[in-house]
Amino acid sequence: MSTAPRVNHEIDYKIYGEELQFVEIELDPTETAIAESGGMMMMDEGIQMQTIFGDGSAQQPTGFLGKLVSAGKRVLTGESLFMTAFTNESQGKKKISFAAPYVGKIIPMDLRELGGTIICQKDAFLCAAKGVSVGLHFQRKLGVGIFGGEGFIMQKIEGDGMAFLHAGGFIIEKELKQGEILKIDTGCVVGYTPTTQFDIEFVKGVKNFMFGGEGLFFAKLQGPGKVWIQSLPISRLAGRIVAYGTYKRKEEGSVLGGLGNLFDGRE
């Protein structure tokens, strides 16, 4: 545990809900939280909202060109050029809440306790304390970039404050020991610490990759380091919804058959 004073703003928080969660952040006077555009759910009177170019962190380059390049990197990760800063400009404590974008879990991360950096999937970032940098991470290995589930570009969260990620389904945190290997579905990797080695492994056996339904590759993570895994990637959920919507539903066990579909409103 680091005993050095925090550079980023120090915030208190509470997470509410089960499947559709939101995080409530308590801001002392002059404290600020940052979030992606559209993430705010509700806030107390006295909190001022300001749209900023990039993430407004100390790590962000100065000057218009530097800020433009930094913001452009955020676009590559699928985010907006702009973020929103929420500052408590009153004399007392105020609260602001940020909602999860879909069914899943919010993951609170104290970056100071995690070595200062987390590599995560492109749409995982929800909000953070002022000063946390939300940047870009390139996968250096060609195979990982092409087949690793998240492509060449991921998000890099840096700082020593609190950051909040979001991912689908249930989230499990695993700490890998030196040399310990974990094989994961490529779409289920939410994030990992930089000490973790991220590679891919080809699924062995012709029948396995042709008929096993697990794809051609596993994500292979090797310790030491921490890994966060989601049970339901949003791409998998979206695929199931599309498949259900386009599938011609039969009787599904109804004793009325097709007539039952008329009564339950699905025909």
CATH of residue 214's domain is 3.60.160.10
According to DSSP, the residues that pair with 185 across neighbouring strands are: 218
Is 94 within the bounds of a domain? yes
Indicate the range of 34-43, 120-129, 244-253 predicted with least confidence: 244-253
Q: Is residue 3 part of a domain?
A: no
Over residues 69-122, the pLDDT tens digits come to 555 555 555 555 678 999 999 999 999 999 999 999 999 999 999 999 999 988
Model pTM greater than 0.75?
yes
Is 122 domain-assigned?
yes
Backbone angles phi, psi at 150, to 5 degrees: -110, 0
**In 3D, which of 131, 234, 235, 149 has the Cα closest to residue 192?**
149
The verdict on residue 136 lying in a domain is yes
48 belongs to a structural domain: yes
pLDDT of residue 105: 95
254 in a domain, yes or no?
Answer: no
Expressed in percent and rounded to 5, the helix, strand and coil fractions of the chain are: 20, 40, 40
For residue 138, give both structure tokens: 């390139």
Report, as an integer, the average pLDDT of 203-214.
50
Q: Is residue 30 part of a domain?
A: yes
Q: Which domain holds residue 196?
A: 12-249
Q: Which amino acid does the sequence have at 251?
A: E
The model's confidence at residue 200, banded by pLDDT at 50, 70 and 90, is: confident
In sequence order, what are the residues at sequence separation of 6 or more whose Cβ sits closer than 8 angstroms to the Cβ of residue 24?
A: 13, 14, 15, 16, 95, 96, 97
Q: What's the pLDDT score for residue 60?
A: 52
pLDDT for res 59: 54
Please count the structural domains in the chain.
1
| Phi, psi (deg, nearest 5) at residue 141 | -85, 130
Confidence grade of residue 241 (pLDDT, cut at 50, 70, 90): confident
How many angstroms separate the CA atoms of 178 and 55, rounded?
Answer: 34
pLDDT tens-digit map of 131-182: 898 888 765 554 444 444 444 478 899 999 999 999 999 999 999 999 999 9
In a domain, 65, yes or no: yes
